[in-house]
Structure 1
Amino acid sequence: MSTPAAPPSAYRWVVLALATLAQTGGCFLVQGLGALGPALQAAFGLDAAQVGFAMSAAQAVPIVGLPVAGLLLDRFSERLIVGLGATMVAASLVGAARAESYGGVLSWLVVASVGYCTVQPGGGKVVAAWFSPDTRGFAMGIRQAGLPLGAALAALILPVAAARNGWQAAFDLGAFAALASGLLFAFFYRPPPEPLPERKRTPGMWRERFKEIAPRLPRIVWSGVALVSVQFAITVYLPLDLRDRFGIPAETGVKLLFGAQFAGAFARILLAAWSDRSRRGRFFPLAMSMGAIALGLAAYIAAPGAPLWLVAGIAAWLGFFGFGWYGPWIALVSEAAPRGAIGFMIGLAMAINQIFVVLVPPAFGALRDATGTFAYGWGVIAFAVVLVLLTQARTSFRP
């Protein structure tokens, strides 16, 4: 007679809170760079492409660092890896705040991105370890809501700090948020009673895992690439575009960015919970998000001259779907991982996304500098989203 499974530990909710807090604090400044765009422009005399390079610098190393962080998380304690990463982010942001040139700021942001590599896959792995599949999407959604929540808080707080005490004060606040949240995770996290299964480590482990993962990547990769491009275009350029095309003051544009990011934080929970119950699989909410984003971008491109309430509504719509997609996506990634390779799978999928996180902001800004408007950039992204949606619609919605 089989022994009934033990009820899930209530400590999983503490773990979820710690992982969400680490996500929120770790991304507070990095995801808030778009809200600081006007302040950085004024301080260093930047064009639109140079504003985009700030985000690229903060996201550059994870292209190669995320898979490495995933392997480390499969081997070592999550509390050690995430705690050290948060400390590195904090130290780097303190250094950036004391840089005397824009090039110096970019250099320190590159260093910060090394530590930032650990926060995303680390939180994803601990949630996958503590939550069963029937609630994993919901839990992943809550944890991933930390990113747009951190960005929303940054849009609310960092421009005020920069206006009162200079952009350096905003960077110092970001350092404090990263360090405090990372240390709380390191001190209070503990592994689950039944840890995830491990695999015997061999010299060719990296190649073996990649061979297993490669057939599972296409649907994850194409949807992730299209949606992350939307997310970071909004994050970096929404306030500047609202100022340039709509004539909306930068302060008001930052508030609309806050509204979009807050809507996205809520959507990550809602869409991920939907993915737990969707009869058509976790991919179906992603497909619906892509369709909604395409419609929202079409409305946004045509919106100059519309009343402020309508523009705010479109921004919130784009934030809801343009940020909310990540909850079901990361749950899909974790469940597509082979045995003993969740950390590596999450790290690899995020690293592929990261290439476009680095490339899209400066390319989007350069297109604006060349054409004199952001409208063409939004049109290109809308076309890419529709193309991926039509391609993916030919396949089954089940992973």
Structure 2
Amino acid sequence: MSYPFYTEESPRFKVAEYLKKITAVLLIVWLFKGYLGLEPYNRYLVYSIIALIFAFELLSVGKWVGVTVTGIVFALAKGFLWTSVFLYFGGWLGMPDDLHDLAGRAFAYAVVLSIAGLLIGKGEEKRFTWKVEKKTYEFSGAEFGDVRLKGRGKAYPIKFGNRRVGWAIDGEVEVKAETPLGTIKKALSSPVVVWGELTVGKKTKADEGFVAEVSRLINPDRLYKNKKGSTAVDLGIVKVYEGEDFEYVKVPFVEVIETPHGEEVKIGPFRIRDGNPRKPKEMLTIRELRNGFQLTKVGDRLKIETEEFSIEVEGGRVVYRSGNETLSLGDAVSLRSGDISVTVGKGRAKIRIEDVVISARDGVVKIRAGGRTHTIENEEAYRLVVRKAKEIVEEQSAGLIEGFGVDRTMLTRRVKELLDELMNYVG
């Protein structure tokens, strides 16, 4: 039997969530106090709401990194901020005038306490790190939509402060991901980290040596410092993803999304939105700690990074990169390797190799080679270039994906053959 594990919360945090719900209900009751015959209790309802605001903010202290003086001060600051908002806007909804007039003072308290929290935070020396717990559960695979983990082993919870942010897996594991290029398979070497939630089995005996090794390997400096080109960073509590026309950043209390449809910034309970950005589902990452393989999934976006290549998938668009070689699939198919590029789209094609450029569009072929330019207005020549460009891309893509790279000798020969055929159309 397997058991789904969710974020662990102490009774204190659960009580805080209940108090939030009670506060919301009491706000609605206060809003309709006249219809409910509660107008004589107006002042007492306001006092109760304010008390509940401070209660759930203080009870929520330390949800991520434990109880600190800074956390308590910021909780008080948030309590005064919510109170100032309630007192200010409540003036139009039947708030007693003397309480409404206190909105400015409550806001001032919030600002001063926030400054105090920042100053205290700079002086606190307590440093929080990722901790692998010395308890483990049976692991027998997991599914995340079009991404699957197959295999068996043990799963160890990883915590940051008080919150579990991922799992470390010890065992033989294979990852499978469905992409437009086909199924990508990779056997992963232990230890493997999953920054996300898993369904695990019953508790079993832990290996303290494995716990110590994972604790050493998940050091952020070791994983990401001086790693050029990495556009997906995931440490459970810190998530960064950069893709085509898309950026996603999430750290405790702050979340930023940038898409072609708009932008959104969330700081604590406050949101600033411009346009209508589509918020992705929770970011998932599967990573080998020793060999550098990393798979990251954000909504319908998938990125696979290894020491040899990377694949990025967004809907029907795929970009494969290996060294200075790139294969792009989408509305057009493009293959690039240094000074070589071949692009094929709907009704068009372009081949560039060294100082030779052959392009075809709308029934016209243009050739630039040796400092001379030729134009061929011939439908048969146009179809020939498009067909040959497709053949070249198909041939070279297979070798590129299999890890052999672009065969420059074969590509040069194919382009020379094409040029020879096109010369028959030059008048």
* Same structural fold, with TM-score higher than 0.5 when normalized by the shorter chain: no
Higher relative contact order (CA 8 A, sep 6+): 1
**Higher Cα Rg: structure 1 or 2?**
2
Give the TM-score normalised by structure 2: 0.24
More helix by share: 1
